[in-house]
Amino acid sequence: MTQPQHMMALARANEIRFARVDAKHDIYAGRLGIADALVLECCQTMLVRDLLMARRRWGLSYSRKLLLRIGMSESKTVGSLTERQRGILIAAVGETKP
């Protein structure tokens, strides 16, 4: 017997949450860059601000200032970024494209 649809959706959501936590830990440890995280499936629904805050010593204030400087909304999700916006963000954090 197969699981009900809501249980499968809950399991999928949990997989994404755990993958997102792993990605944040990797970003904090320096094993994963922001440029690499932008293409991960688990990060597509994440706010850009939250992705930036995963970096070591980057808090809410620093992330907000960077987003304000490049003219990007705090509520923007990673998945909704255009290629141009991704390039601007990567340049602003000082990384190279993958």
In a domain, 84, yes or no: yes
> 95 falls in which pLDDT band (50, 70, 90)?
confident
In a domain, 98, yes or no: no
pLDDT given for residue 3 in this prediction: 83
pLDDT given for residue 73 in this prediction: 94
Tell me how many domains the chain contains: 1
Average pLDDT over residues 53-69: 94
In a domain, 66, yes or no: yes
Spell out the long-range contacts of 40-47 with Cβ–Cβ below 8 A and sequence spacing 24 or more.
41/16, 42/16, 43/78, 44/77, 44/78, 44/79, 45/16, 45/77, 45/78, 45/79, 46/20, 46/77, 46/78, 47/74, 47/75, 47/76, 47/77, 47/78
Enter the tokens of residue 46.
């994440």
How many angstroms separate the CA atoms of 36 and 52, rounded? 12
For 10-48, the pLDDT digits (tens) are 999 999 999 999 999 999 999 999 999 999 999 999 999
pTM, to two decimals: 0.85
pLDDT given for residue 97 in this prediction: 54
pLDDT given for residue 96 in this prediction: 57
In a domain, 62, yes or no: yes
Residues 6+ apart with CB under 8 A from 40: 19, 23
Residue 46 is part of which domain span?
A: 5-93
